[in-house]
Structure 1
Amino acid sequence: MGNYLAKADLHLHSKASNLPGGWFSQLINCPESFTEPQEIYKRLKERGMTYITITDHNTIDGVLEIAHLPEVFISCEYTVFFPEEKAKVHVLVYGIDEKIHQDLIKLRENVYEFVKYLKEKDIAHSLAHPLYSVQDTRITKSLVEKFVLLFDNWEIINGTRGEGLRIVEEKIARLYDGWEKIRQLEERYNIQSLRSREHITFTAGSDDHGGLDLGRTWTEAKASSKEEFLKAIKEGHTSVGTEELGYERVLNMVGRIAYDYLSRRNTIPKHVKPFLDFVFMHSDNFFSELFVRNLFGTNAPRHYIFKEIINKLPFMSLERLIREFSLTHLGETILSFILHSLPLVILSQQKKEEDNAKRIAMNLGLNNGKPMRLAYITDTYFDINGVARSSKIVRYLASTYNLPVDVIAVGNKQDREDNLVLLTPMTEFSTPFYEEFKLRVPSLVELLDVLKGYSHIHVATPGPLGIMSILVAKLLNLPLSFAFHTDVPSYAYKYTNSSDLKDWLYKALVFICHLADRVFVPSETYLKTLVEKGVSANKIKVFKRGVDTELFSPSYREKDFFQKNFGIPTKGNVVLYVGRVSKEKNLDTFLYCAKVFPEDTFIVVGDGPYRKDLEERKPKNTYFVGYLTGLSLAKAYASADVFLFPSETETYGQVVLEAMASGLPVIVSSKGASHEHVQEGINGFIANSPEDFAEKLNRILGNPYLREFMSKEALSYARSMDLKESYLNYIDSIMSLSGVKA
């Protein structure tokens, strides 16, 4: 045998595979392939294949068209039956002639007679995609063990299957190494083994039906002729290789077959046909390539261009629809978004196959644990709010302690940080009632490419990114958790006074909770709320966040801080509010108290859609300073005397903890969850109405000894809530779900 390393794609299809491949193909009578054998030959040679073959389904008509060429050997993929299992498998047979093909067609009804014939005739063959369910065949432990008894070669890499199958199939093959194990299987099933070697060896092929990915997966062996190459397959002297695997190959296949099907029916518009001919490799026209690449802004390899188009086309179509509405543009936009979802459908099917393979391996006693890595999903990261702050803490801890956690958000990719993955915003729109906060929509294709590498998905926000991530998690069968951080239904009610809208939003929220494997809430109050709305209590876990007591501390108190930094002529006591300036925060109560205490100073730190309205109605002793962060915020807390927080919709009240850590007694609402931090009369007060807030504030301001006592108790409580420990426990609780759907 020669020393030349020869390569061949040992699994591929031409137009001779002319039967429909699935229920939809059957419905429209669309064949599995339209690819011409001559195109296959040309592309395989361009991609470095030494020897050429075609393995159509149960026919050699395609390969016979190029069989006269010296590098070609005749092959076929046969559907063969296990009579006692009512099961079917695909067997790839290489280096045959027309007489042998006719014999094999007759023997397909019995796999044992089929393989026996191949052995007697010394014909090279391999079991195609061993763990793939051929025509709904149920892959069982007994069926796999019969594969072991029959086949010396397994196709270990198939270009259209998922990335994880190779490892599983190779582990199974290695599990049965040795004649002793083969003899044990013979006794178990009372079947004589037809194996020639005690070790299973491997082949590989693209399984291409569309012509775009031919030769990107291959089998190689040292051979200086095709006869030597076939001998290497029979004797197990092969190795396998592949370019990157992924759903893109099936996407190309579906796209090319659909395009060829429509072209033959003259339904492709003439003005786009030259460009689609380039995309699907029917032509190499330079100007078509230039136009397509410029239009979609891509330098991707040619076999990824179709993916780039369906990634960007929906947003281009949507922009045009908004600019110029018409029914035609509407139809094109809808169709483009349907195409945009196609990768998710394909990958979910591949993931299902991979999960089935893992279950089979587990039944055989193999461990297929995937390295854990958590995707922490948030629609808000660079904004100023509690959810964004939590996301930043998770990312910081992941980076500091080298945790297998990444925060996934939508934003400018120049804002790079460790353990932060940013997706490109394809479109964005303002949040109702809160125009400053933008909801950014990423590409589903880009999101899918990111999330397929994770073992668990945690969704911190029910925005566009969060909802899309839930969809991906469910279709990829990944463990999913959800955090209820924001009481959106109550917010909506505050702005609209619509009970129907509030009820509808709670139903949507409960639906999301039902989809999740676990739901995290920041307080006992909202645990009860979700249970009352219909979420199982067993699914809910309370996560209480700690506070950064190094940043928020009484030591940062500065005399005349507000005068020096904001020009505020403070008098009397400083009563502080920190948070979003919006209607749901009940800041009218804050203004009410300011009017009751005209000799004291009331300061609002934060911004939002309600600020202008409040500033028009505020008394003279009330001031708005806008957003503060970091040390400036810490100094603002510490330089105040009382923290008054009237919000009735808080799911936790992180700012209450920050105020306590700064040594401030607090007054909070009895509604929402902020009051869970407060021991009445010890570290603060809980109020029920504007008048009650004013009365409780009067008790603190009028009694310096009480204020000092409450300050110490508030500080003590905050320091008992360790930030790092609480978040590490939170991450650990989420990660514990990673094995739920193994």
Structure 2
Amino acid sequence: MRNFSARADLHLHSKASNLPGGWFSKLIGCPESYAEPIEIYRRLKQRGMTFVTITDHNTIEGVLEIAHLPDVFISCEYTVEFPDEEAKVHVIAYGISEKQHEDLTKLRQNIYEFTAYLKHHRIAHTLAHPLYSVQGTKITKRLVEKMALLFDNWEVINGTRGNGVRHIEESIARTYSNWDTIRELEEKYKIKALRSREFISFTAGSDDHGGMDVGRTWTQVEGAKSLEEFLEGIREGRTQVDTERLGEERLINMITRVGYEHIKRRYHIPLEVKPFLDHIFMYSDNPLVAAGINYFLGVDVDRTQLVKKLMENLPFLAWERFLKRRSLRELAELALSLPFYAFPVFVKYAQKREEKKIKTLAKEFGISTQRTTKVAYFTDTYKEVNGVARTAQIMRKIALEEDMPFYFVVSSQEEFKEENLISLKAHLELPVPFYEELRMGVPSLMEVIDFLEEGEFTGVHISTPGPLGIMAFLAGKILGLRTTIAFHTDIPTYARVYTGDTDLENILWKTFVILANNSDRCFVPSEHYRSILISKGANPSKLSIFRRGVDTELFSPYRRQEDFWSQKLGKKVKRVILYVGRVAKEKNLDALFYVARCFPEETFVVVGGGPYRKELEERKPKNVHLVGYIRGEELAKAYASSYLFLFPSETETYAQVVLEAMACGLPAVVSSKGASHEHVEDGLNGFIATKKEDFVDRVGMLLYDEGLRNKMSAEALEKAKSLDMRKTYLDYMQAIAGMGRLAYENR
């Protein structure tokens, strides 16, 4: 038969903790708690606590209000000073009398006398949140070792702190769980140990000040059937600790509930919103109001998550209202929603900043905080037809085949989850200017943070600087993860080409430089763009060049089909000069048209789609054919069945299509601007042109000299084969994860 397990939340506060909790609450005269003791008692019992206590700061007034109720014991959280250090800690004493409280209050200035009193009177106690600073105390190894000399119980789960340092606190406690080590510390600090037993055991509590999350973290003692047996279990170290989900929502609940109560006491809450706010902050429990809130949010969540979820959704709800009415009132509502949206992010940042300090301290104890590598690869485009999406698709395929810890993340209103491909819910989708095929999903920033934290990711890679990419970058920095970015697309130049606005171009370059300099590594696909980024202010030590190979099994001269283009175009075709890529202004397709007019007997084919297609259809030469998108094996046949590749784009960051053409045996004529020319050795496997007349001259040389064309074809094929696709992508993925290096890593 299983033993009875008694449990209690051993760290929580009521209205008796009535001092301000920080500079802002002091400024507005707001205490750190308004929670009524009787409300706390009822909620603790509802949540299955066997015994009930309240641990207010240096007072027992709150718990005395419910001391007459069944299963209640008196406790207090004391701020205690080290007389030999500029340091304070929090110590919680359990099951005390009013007289003992008076005595302990007088001893708070000397932790050694204070702890000796607890030991002498056999008072159960614990050291609260041992590695977190109390009133500006600097936590050092020296201070922690003195704590280890004094306390047999450490609180290792604190509901307001998150779960990020539990492992560290437990590891340090176990380090000092033997008498030999304790004796060494006595000799080291010339302090007599006050430990009662060899090992340090653990306690847990919600540390809740608002009343909403009490009883969600607890300490239990097996077999304790009475309060005295429970307290004896704490004294003897027979405790076990457990908790519901830990997260920033507890601090959010606590701060906002205290704030709501503060406002209620000073101002009038409109009757239209009061029932909803009272339900959200657990002052009432109306099923109809609950249903209305869930309908309004479009989600059904636990009440402990409701405040956070409401803050996450407010801007999107306000945006929808603004689009419907477009009035100043809705615009003001949208502006007011943004601070609420940002609040959970700031809370999470504050928690992670504290964790970072503790992880730094852990190194002094030789405790590793490293986790198994796991990378989240964020892309605003995956299923569309473009180079960025193709790169993500190839990397996902390799990750699956090689069992690499990469997970590919998009944001879409379409819900799906495939193996290592995750879609975060898009609260709205934004069209991409001049890129009609692509709509970028906008998730909630906190949902991105939660996804990374709950998934225990160690790295974040941003392949596109769209809404999802920017949020992933911020989330990675907030969580302290390895954060890398890729410069795939020359967005600043595109912006200038389409708008003519050089100021916008400069702003976008500055944005990219900020991202590069604040990342752990920025990957650029060519030396050309590495030089540009450096000239714009990027730190050279942050930049690495990643070169991608080409699939020479898919793209091969053996894919050639003699009548491919004749069938495709519906007429007899002898030779095809091919272009593959987006049909857009930045691709310099006017140069292709110029060349086509110079060779009216030849056939020019443009493969791809984009915002410029309609305009080009209206003014293209007769010998130019725009055939739209071609994919996969058919695209490989299109390359291999052509005569040469003409690519006049001046804004390419890598030009994967040039390599694909070369792998199919096509010599390429490319622009000297951008990065396309880095694949081409001028005069050996293709030509590099500077102006449109150069394109005409080089294309003519290849058309009229078949021997030259065939020689360049063979060299182009060798160049493509030298870049093994699998190896280049594996190297790139290892560099993203921090497990390998690429060229120009620290040039």
Under TM normalisation by the shorter chain, which class is it?
over 0.9
Q: Which residue of 1 aligns with 2:102?
A: 102
Whole-Å separation in 1 of the counterparts to 2:353 and 2:594: 59
Q: TM-score, normalised by structure 2?
A: 0.96
Q: Which residue of 2 aligns with 1:146?
A: 146
The AA in structure 1 aligned to 2:637 is K
Partner of 1:341, secondary structure, is: helix
Q: Which residue of 1 aligns with 2:362?
A: 361
Gaps of 5+ in 2: none
Residue range with higher mean Cα deviation, 600-609 or 316-325:
316-325
User: Contact (CA 8 Å) 1:370, 1:455: kept in 2 or not?
Assistant: yes
User: Contact (CA 8 Å) 1:3, 1:224: kept in 2 or not?
Assistant: no
Shift of 1:572: 3.2
| Equivalences for residues 170-319 of structure 1 within 5 A | 170-221=170-221, 222-319=223-320
| Equivalences for residues 424-503 of structure 1 within 5 A | 424-452=425-453, 453-503=456-506
Partner of 1:491, secondary structure, is: helix
Whole-Å separation in 1 of the counterparts to 2:472 and 2:488: 17
Whole-Å separation in 2 of the counterparts to 1:254 and 1:629: 54
Residue range with higher mean Cα deviation, 350-359 or 605-614:
350-359
**Per-residue CA shift, 1:571-602, capped at 9, x if unaligned?**
33101100000000000011111111111111
Shift of 1:16: 0.9
Residues 306, 586 of structure 1: CA spacing in aligned structure 2 closer, same or farther, 3 A cutoff? Answer: same
The AA in structure 1 aligned to 2:550 is V
Q: Which residue of 1 aligns with 2:657?
A: 655
**Per-residue CA shift, 1:530-581, capped at 9, x if unaligned?**
11112122211110011111111111111221332x3342433101100000
Whole-Å separation in 1 of the counterparts to 2:164 and 2:625: 60
1:420 aligns with 2:421: yes
| Equivalences for residues 700-715 of structure 1 within 5 A | 700-715=702-717
| Equivalences for residues 674-685 of structure 1 within 5 A | 674-685=676-687
Whole-Å separation in 2 of the counterparts to 1:701 and 1:675: 20
Whole-Å separation in 2 of the counterparts to 1:612 and 1:275: 53
Whole-Å separation in 2 of the counterparts to 1:59 and 1:508: 52
Shift of 1:516: 1.2
User: Contact (CA 8 Å) 2:54, 2:76: kept in 1 or not?
Assistant: yes
Q: Which residue of 2 aligns with 1:547?
A: 550
Q: Which residue of 1 aligns with 2:51?
A: 51
The AA in structure 1 aligned to 2:178 is G
Whole-Å separation in 2 of the counterparts to 1:112 and 1:580: 74
1:524 aligns with 2:521: no
Q: TM-score, normalised by structure 1?
A: 0.97
The AA in structure 1 aligned to 2:75 is S
Residue range with higher mean Cα deviation, 238-247 or 666-675:
238-247
Whole-Å separation in 1 of the counterparts to 2:712 and 2:219: 76
**Per-residue CA shift, 1:170-207, capped at 9, x if unaligned?**
01111112100000000111111000011000111111
1:612 aligns with 2:610: no
Shift of 1:413: 5.0
Partner of 2:24, secondary structure, is: helix
Whole-Å separation in 1 of the counterparts to 2:597 and 2:620: 8
The AA in structure 1 aligned to 2:329 is T
User: Contact (CA 8 Å) 1:456, 1:738: kept in 2 or not?
Assistant: no
Whole-Å separation in 1 of the counterparts to 2:166 and 2:6: 22
Q: Which residue of 1 aligns with 2:327?
A: 326
Whole-Å separation in 2 of the counterparts to 1:465 and 1:286: 36
User: Contact (CA 8 Å) 1:479, 1:737: kept in 2 or not?
Assistant: no
Partner of 1:90, secondary structure, is: strand
Residues 440, 247 of structure 1: CA spacing in aligned structure 2 closer, same or farther, 3 A cutoff? Answer: same
Partner of 1:196, secondary structure, is: coil
Whole-Å separation in 1 of the counterparts to 2:624 and 2:572: 10
Whole-Å separation in 1 of the counterparts to 2:136 and 2:491: 45
Identical-residue share of aligned pairs (%)? 55
Partner of 1:672, secondary structure, is: coil
Whole-Å separation in 2 of the counterparts to 1:570 and 1:541: 47
Shift of 1:358: 1.5
Whole-Å separation in 1 of the counterparts to 2:179 and 2:265: 54
Residue range with higher mean Cα deviation, 191-200 or 412-421:
412-421
Whole-Å separation in 2 of the counterparts to 1:268 and 1:388: 51
Q: Which residue of 1 aligns with 2:601?
A: 599
Residue range with higher mean Cα deviation, 353-362 or 641-650:
353-362
The AA in structure 2 aligned to 1:598 is P
Residue range with higher mean Cα deviation, 679-688 or 420-429:
420-429
Whole-Å separation in 2 of the counterparts to 1:367 and 1:170: 13
Superposition CA RMSD, Å: 1.7
Whole-Å separation in 2 of the counterparts to 1:599 and 1:717: 31
Residue of 554, 563, 566 corresponding to 2:566: 563
| Equivalences for residues 568-647 of structure 1 within 5 A | 568-647=570-649
Gaps of 5+ in 1: none
Q: Which residue of 2 aligns with 1:22?
A: 22
Whole-Å separation in 2 of the counterparts to 1:70 and 1:499: 74
User: Contact (CA 8 Å) 1:16, 1:33: kept in 2 or not?
Assistant: yes
Residues 373, 293 of structure 1: CA spacing in aligned structure 2 closer, same or farther, 3 A cutoff? Answer: same
**Per-residue CA shift, 1:618-644, capped at 9, x if unaligned?**
111111111111112111111111110
**Per-residue CA shift, 1:324-371, capped at 9, x if unaligned?**
133332232222222122222111122122221111111012222122
User: Contact (CA 8 Å) 2:653, 2:674: kept in 1 or not?
Assistant: yes
